[in-house]
Amino acid sequence: MNATVEYVRFETEDPDRLTAQRDRLVALLRERYAADFLGAHLARCEDGSLIDLLLWASPEAAERAAREVPGDPAAAGFFSLIGAVHEMRHARVLHSTRP
């Protein structure tokens, strides 16, 4: 399995606006990366920071999107709401299960 998780922990001053803009971001990822984009989850930590977990079909797809998407005007609404980024990592999936 070559699936890759992209993990980003960051701050935002307006989680509701960011969440609303995220629908546009996810639509862009689906359109641009098709079968390479496998899904995403956004979560709030107890300290108020947010975690975005994106699942990609390969490390190459994850790296390509990480290079391309932040500067894309179609994603500007989402990225303009991100404050400090505490951590961003890519990790290879070793095991998955579904309910």
pLDDT digits (tens, 9 = 90+) for 37-54: 999 999 999 999 999 999
List the 37-44 sheet strands across, edge first: 37-44, 50-56, 4-10, 85-92
Length of the chain: 99
- Tell me the fold of 4-92: Alpha-Beta Plaits (3.30.70)
At 1 the pLDDT is 60
Question: Which residue matches tokens 């862009």?
Answer: 28
End-to-end CA distance of the chain: 19
Are 62 and 53 in contact by the 8 Å Cβ rule? The answer is: no
Segments of the chain scoring below 70 in pLDDT: 1
**What is the structure's pLDDT at 96?**
87
Cα 47 to its chain centre, rounded Å, is 19
* Residue indicated by tokens 């709401």: 81
pTM of the model: 0.90
Q: Compute how many other C-beta atoms are within 10 angstroms of the C-beta atom of residue 45.
A: 10
- Secondary structure of residue 63 in the 3-state scheme: helix
